[in-house]
Structure 1
Amino acid sequence: MLQPYVRLTKLVSAAGRWGVRRSEAGQPFYCVVLEGECRLTVGDEPALTLAQGDFVLIPASFDFAMSSLRAPRQGDFNRAPVQLRAGEFRLGTEEGPPDVRYLIGHCEFGSPDAALLAPLLPRLVHVRGDPRLTMLVQLVGDESARQRPARDVVITRLLEVLLIEALRTGGGAAVAPGLVQGLSDARLAAALRRMHEAPEHPWTVAGLAQEAAMSRSTFFERFSASVGMPPMEYLLAWRMALARNLLRRGTHRVAEVAERVGYGSASAFSVAFARHSGMPPASYTRHVSAG
């Protein structure tokens, strides 16, 4: 539903002292280290040392900086990278072998619901030593550099697999509150799967707690802490995201959409949708069609 696609992919090599700083709020960013080591700092988080084979995914990146392990000077951040050839750049010292080589890229979430869904993902996913992810990113880079038939379609599909693989591989690590942390908890995952599978069901906190085999109060507290929002708020967000997706397709009447996302009447759904989305379902459908 996020509809991810690649906006930029490039190969970077660097040596000596170097640093790059970007402010790319809201744009998903990934990096895979092909050789050597470097340092990544995201927002106010502690610096992270990346080594060969490491993969980093920032679903909605804030200010971030990448630099050499040797502390760069302030002026090093102001030096523009040197383009060696199409899609390949050099940082720091231009002569000699590089200390690090990495593939980086930005992607975008094409869905109008990206602002709703992206916050459910962790702020940072760091996976170390997973050859499947390295292979996937290299395929994205290779496809981006070639003008083959259906290039954009292939890149989009590779990226979808890449994001899913990164999230499920990194789900076991300590991540910020969000959907991945919730799915990493076996009991909460049972309740989340039921919400995803049957959004039309008249769920209550007690019913979801039963699915998780937990008491109501324990489930509510654990879910809120892990996912970052209370269970019923998450259910509403999920239902509205599904509803928008169905309305965008234009193949379902409002009453059908209402039934599929758990509302007993079209009027009750219309009120909830307007409160959540800022416009009634019919207006939303016309707006999407006009856009």
Structure 2
Amino acid sequence: MSESPNIYLNDPDPLSVLLTRLDLKAEVYVNGDFCGAWAVDTGGSKRIPFHLIGAGSAWLHFEGQEAQRLTSHDLVVFPNDAHHVISNSKIAPSPEQVNAPMTNDGEVTNVVCGFFEFRNPILFPILEALPQVVVLNSGAELAGNRIEFLISQMLNELQHERPGFYTAIDQMAFLIFIEMIRQQIQSGALDKGLLSALFDARLGKALNAIHQSPESHWTLERLAEKAIMSRSTFADLFSKTVGITPMKYLTKWRMNQARHMLKTTQLSVSQISERSGYDSEAAFRKAYRNTLGEPPGAVRSK
């Protein structure tokens, strides 16, 4: 009798592990009909804003780019929280007109606004390799059927407001975020950075090992074995793709998790040191200070 196949989902992929560890949250907070003269900018919130044109049309104004027309089901995401303006006119509004009351006349445009946020603060931006603005046009092949389906379902939930729709639209926004990242990778827009490494079949295995078990006594050789590569080839590819060496990345990830534990638990520094993979509390304190520029206790005194 042949051995039964493994039917349990007990080996999560690298992107799923990272998003879970960083506690990604998606929230929709505006579903509004804008008419007349109007202009909005939701940048500068230290989150990842997005806008969805539910119906009608609008214009995207972004520094260094020509105004871009947006139509029904177009989605705009600002991965690094860049300032921007969505308005009714191709002509860029003055600063005084941005976020001012609308004039309530003329054509109506439905705009859905929301944000993505990592609730476990990170030491380095995982989205830094993405463009400052990502526009997924509903009619473009790149947008894909999956994103169009999710957008349609979100708008349907907002229209009918059935019980549970608040949670449903946030979960759909979460799924749209994942699809947006997939599309950026598949389009070839990303050839470096942490996200690109996560999608690499070899580097992803090593990153998964770090993210899932930062307390393990990882060495360059052990991580290279996870990636099924020679030590030198692994170190070179990792550094070129991610931007830092594997061991420096390991330290940064450990300190990120240590800071999170310091802020959210009552564990002692000694206990956190051990859970961060350090046999010596003194070595942990030194690594923490060198990485974050302050001693571990400073987090709890703020």
Structure 2 length normalisation: TM-score? 0.67
Give secondary structure in 1 for the equivalent of 2:205.
Answer: helix
Letter in 1 for 2:106: E
Are residue 172 (structure 1) and residue 183 (structure 2) matched? no
Give secondary structure in 1 for the equivalent of 2:229.
Answer: coil
* Cα shift readout 1:242-276 (whole Å, capped 9, x = no counterpart): 11222223243323322222212222112211222
User: What 5-or-longer segments of structure 2 have no aligned partner?
Assistant: 1-21, 137-142
Paired residues for 1:19-168 under 5 Å: 20=40, 24=44, 26-44=46-64, 50-67=70-87, 71-72=90-91, 78=97, 80-82=100-102, 94-96=105-107, 98=108, 100-106=109-115, 108-111=117-120, 113-114=121-122, 116-117=124-125, 122=130, 123-127=132-136, 128-129=143-144, 130-134=147-151, 137-138=154-155, 163-164=177-178, 166-168=180-182
Letter in 1 for 2:97: N
8 Å contact from structure 1 (residues 18, 72) kept in 2? no
- Go from structure 1 to structure 2 and tell me whether the alpha carbon gap of 1:124 and 1:136 turns closer, same or farther (over 3 Å shift): farther
Give secondary structure in 2 for the equivalent of 1:104.
Answer: strand
Could you tell me how far 1:18 is from its partner in structure 2?
Answer: 7.0
- Go from structure 1 to structure 2 and tell me whether the alpha carbon gap of 1:186 and 1:20 turns closer, same or farther (over 3 Å shift): same
The CA RMSD measured in Å over matched residues stands at: 4.2
* Cα shift readout 1:75-132 (whole Å, capped 9, x = no counterpart): 6983745276xxxxxxxxx324x4x533123455554x24645556735555524135
The CA distance in 2 between the partners of 1:118 and 1:221, in whole Å, is 20
Are residue 200 (structure 1) and residue 219 (structure 2) matched? no
Report how many residues are paired. 270
- Structure 1 residues 40-49 or 53-62, which shifts more? 40-49
Q: 1:219 maps to what in 2? A: 234
The CA distance in 2 between the partners of 1:30 and 1:192, in whole Å, is 28
Higher strand share: 1
* Cα shift readout 1:229-253 (whole Å, capped 9, x = no counterpart): 3322322221111112222232433
Q: 1:275 maps to what in 2? A: 290
Q: 1:265 maps to what in 2? A: 280
User: What 5-or-longer segments of structure 1 have no aligned partner?
Assistant: 85-93
- Go from structure 1 to structure 2 and tell me whether the alpha carbon gap of 1:241 and 1:125 turns closer, same or farther (over 3 Å shift): farther
Give secondary structure in 2 for the equivalent of 1:214.
Answer: coil
Identity %: 28
8 Å contact from structure 2 (residues 76, 135) kept in 1? yes
Could you tell me how far 1:197 is from its partner in structure 2?
Answer: 1.8
